[in-house]
Structure 1
């Protein structure tokens, strides 16, 4: 139900009431309803010459594990722009989104949705940022066998290398102009 105590619209103390069969924090003074706490993570699957871009985490959670680059969506940034920025910040590699490759849904106290994108390598050599990650590089399956790759990342590696679908492709020219939207379709 979340820990919201005060209305984000008018500041009045929230009450708990049943809305749609679920107890929710709602404002008795206006129409505000706290629907829950959510986070959106994004991840990059950048391939170059049959190898996948991985980073070694320098911070918790997952310190010391190899993962694909990524981060969390910013409020006013499209997630395909977020993942491009995160790859560039963490590794110095420029890559552009081509398709949506995988989604992980993880309901918990802060419900997490993670969106992994297939990305086309544009340029740059992997150099760790020295803050979030302390190592970066392109690795093949044989090299990954001796690396401490995080379990979820192992699943994403399989999606990137052995995936049977191109995923949902980025729709750069939708049939109607939809400024500011990130659109992906089959």
Structure 2
């Protein structure tokens, strides 16, 4: 069970109640229910001239490993804007999210969902931020063989180069209530 003790809406001490066949922390004074703790991570798969953008982590977790650029979403930031920002911050590259290539789901104390985006190169040269990452560059699969590439990143790079289909593609909404949503769908070929 979570370490949260008080309602984030009204401040009342939470109690355990059976909701949807699960013990959940709920507020006795208002409708608040703590549904769990979650984090959403994003990663970029940005190819240019037959190579993929990688950064070398300068901090834990993964210090010393080459990975695809990525990070965690901000509360009021669309997920595709998050990965565009992360690529710019970590590697100095301007890019555009064009689709989703893979998704990882890790249920644990803080349930993590990781969304790997296909990115389109816009401009810039790989330049590390020298805080989160200490090196950045475009590498082909042969060059990666001699590098300390994180296993999950190797899996993602394989999908980027050898995956079948087009993944989920970004679409613009014509539904007014969804104008601020980031929408992605499977291409139907039409």
TM-based fold match above 0.5: yes
For 2:88 and 2:61, the matched residues in 1 are separated by: 21
Render the CA deviation track for 1:32-63: whole Å, top value 9, x for unaligned. Answer: 10000000000000000110000000000000
Deviations 1:67-115 (A, max 9, x none): 0001000000001000000000001101101111110000000000000
Query: Which 5+ residue runs of structure 2 have no aligned equivalent?
Result: none
Q: Which residue of 2 aligns with 1:20?
A: 20
Aligned to 2:164: 164
Alignment of 1:170-185 (within 5 A): 170-172=170-172, 174-177=173-176, 178-185=178-185
- 2:93 matches 1:93: yes
Q: C-alpha separation between the residues in 2 aligned to 1:60 and 1:35?
A: 29
Instruction: Give the Cα separation in 1 of the matches to 2:30 and 2:79.
Output: 31
Deviation, structure 1 residue 2:
1.3
Runs of 4+ aligned residues of structure 1 deviating over 4 Å after TM superposition are none
Between Structure 1 and Structure 2, how many residues are aligned? 185
Q: 1:86 & 1:175 partners in 2: Cα distance?
A: 28
Could you tell me how far 1:179 is from its partner in structure 2? 1.5
- Are 1:34 and 2:37 counterparts? no
Q: Which residue does the alignment assign to 1:56?
A: 56
**TM-score computed with the length of structure 1 as normaliser:** 0.98
Instruction: Kindly report which structure 2 residues correspond to 1:89-168, keeping only aligned pairs within 5 A, or say none.
Output: 89-168=89-168
Partner-residue secondary structure (3-state), 2:30: coil
TM-score (norm 2): 0.95
| C-alpha separation in 2, matches of 1:2 and 1:146 | 42
Deviation at 1:3, TM superposition (A): 1.1
| 1:128-166 Cα shifts (integer Å, max 9, x gaps) | 000000000000000000000001111101111111111
Q: Which runs of 5+ in 1 are unaligned?
A: none
Give distance in 2, aligned partners of 1:145 and 1:66.
Answer: 11
